[in-house]
Amino acid sequence: MKLAFSPASPFARKIRIVAMELGLFDKIEFITPIKAVPATENDDYARTVSPLRKIPALILNDGSVIVDSYVIAEYLDELAGGKLIPASGAKKWQVKTDHSILQGMLDALLLCRYEKLLRPEQFCWQAWYDDQFKRAWDGLARYEAHPDVLTRPLDLVQIGIVCVLGYLDFRFPDCGWRKAFPKLDAFHEKMMQRESVRTTVPPPA
């Protein structure tokens, strides 16, 4: 298998953590760097991997492609016998729902990043930026208020939370999330003791 990824992508980081935790990391060849920035052409990637030009994408040995970080995580989890995503019942749907919320939080933060990095300054919409960032911030408040999510056995939701917090450190280092959310801070420090989390921290910008 091959994984198209970027070390800076929180979505791709999630898959790298998942692969390590499932014992599949050595079975994957990591293809980097893959650029997936708006207004940047990547016709070869669009043609051979994904027309959406998004990462990560998992290229299987038969040439077929799996896209979307949740779908890739679910595929790898199934290969490993189902360790991070419940197979059925209410817990499965709660994990899927929580993951969708976390995915939306990362999407909102990525839009904030692009708004400041790529959009011409005269066209920047501050109210829109603030609204997107608040969506992510409100998501953090949700998990701060439900610490049971942070203390249960490792699952995909906890990995997703780590990737959100890591992306905040990487792209929004002065946002003050640690002071605002002490339970998440303690959770993040504990998770950083895991090799899968510690070794996938994005490189300095």
Identical fold at 2-79 and 89-196? no
Give the model's pLDDT for residue 45: 77
Which residues face 58 on adjacent strands?
Answer: 3, 66
Domain definitions of the chain by residue range: 2-79, 89-196
pLDDT at 136 over 90: yes
Contacts of 151 (CB under 8 A, 6+ apart): none
Higher pLDDT among residues 87 and 168, named by residue: 168
Give the model's pLDDT for residue 120: 82
pLDDT tens per residue, range 8-62: 999 999 999 999 999 999 999 999 766 666 767 777 777 888 787 788 999 999 9
- CATH number given to 2-79: 3.40.30.10
pLDDT at 134 over 90: yes
Of the pLDDT bands very low, low, confident and very high (cuts 50, 70, 90), residue 204 is: confident
Q: What is the DSSP letter of 5?
A: -
Q: Looking at beta carbons, which pairs linking 113-122 to residues 24 or more positions away fall under 8 Å?
A: 113/171, 114/37, 114/38, 118/37, 118/38, 118/39
- CATH number given to 89-196: 1.20.1050.10
pLDDT at 89 over 80: yes
Give the model's pLDDT for residue 67: 94
pLDDT tens per residue, range 138-193: 999 999 999 999 999 999 999 999 999 999 999 999 999 999 999 999 999 999 99
Give the model's pLDDT for residue 34: 66
**Average pLDDT for residues 106-121, to the nearest whole number?**
89
pLDDT at 1 over 70: yes
